[in-house]
Amino acid sequence: MSDYLRKYQAVHTSHTHDDFHQIILPITGKLELEIEGLGGDVNGRTIGIVTSGEKHAFRAKGKNNFLVLDIHNEKIDQNLEEVWARAIEEPFHSMSEALLSLTDYAAFCAQEKMPHNWLETWQQLFLTTLECDLVNDLPALPARIDKAIKYMQANMGSQVRNLDLANAACLSPARFYELFQHSTGISPQQYLTQCRLKMAKRLILQGESLSFVADEVGFSDQSSFGRAFQKAYGLSPGQWRKQESETKKS
């Protein structure tokens, strides 16, 4: 599993690998991925799973960074067959909070160039957690709300209005707001802020400047980003970065 932190080019490329499965985890940016004719985007919370022998094509958009797990066939745990069986039918999956946290940890280790002795244990934990998510099949959001959330994730760096989200969900603004609040327990803009701040934390751990992070996740300026971050987590972005760095190095 060397070279697990990768960047992709904005060039359409296709290939097949017969001796290993592959899981692509988004850190930053978007990867357009087509697996045996089924297309989707790996970005935000969405991962892509390519089983061995499947032809797949891909192309990145903009600045990007991905964690890529190459899992060779002879090393596959038979207890995790559900992951690969599901991937053939549905290769794109939304990460749970547990998987997001594991991905953030791996991204930090890669960024800090820590020794690889953590990698094997981390991979097993990630796969086991992924299998639990797939088997348990947490209740899905209504399809229209899911479309709105995907619109949020794809346009996080831009102004996202409730009207835009309602249009993405093919609902009237009033009906959309009511259904979103009922489905998630919070308003669309509160949900959007949560998404932005979670992405901001990941970018901060990648070592990006706070001004870049604020702009990348859609805040009007660094001050408004700092206020939102402090309100959500009780620390300024700079204080949180220092705390996380000290905690993970201890």
Residue 2 pLDDT grade (very low, low, confident, very high; cuts 50, 70, 90) = very low
**In this predicted model, what pLDDT tens digit does every residue of 170-189 receive, in sequence order?**
999 999 999 999 888 899 99
What's the pLDDT at 77? 61
**In this predicted model, what pLDDT tens digit does every residue of 64-86 receive, in sequence order?**
989 998 887 665 665 566 677 66
β-bridge partners, 59: 32
- What is the distance between the alpha carbons of residues 106 and 242, in angstroms, rounded to a whole number? 18
Classify burial at 115, counting beta carbons within 10 Å of its beta carbon; exposed 0-12, middle 13-18, buried 19 or more.
exposed
What's the pLDDT at 223? 94
pLDDT more than 70, % of the chain: 89
Domains along the chain with CATH numbers: 5-136 (2.60.120), 143-249 (1.10.10.60)
Q: Are 64 and 29 within 8 A, CB to CB?
A: yes
- What is the distance between the alpha carbons of residues 50 and 56, in angstroms, rounded to a whole number? 8
Q: Are 133 and 100 within 8 A, CB to CB?
A: no
Report if pTM > 0.75.
no
Residue 63 CB neighbours (<10 A): 12
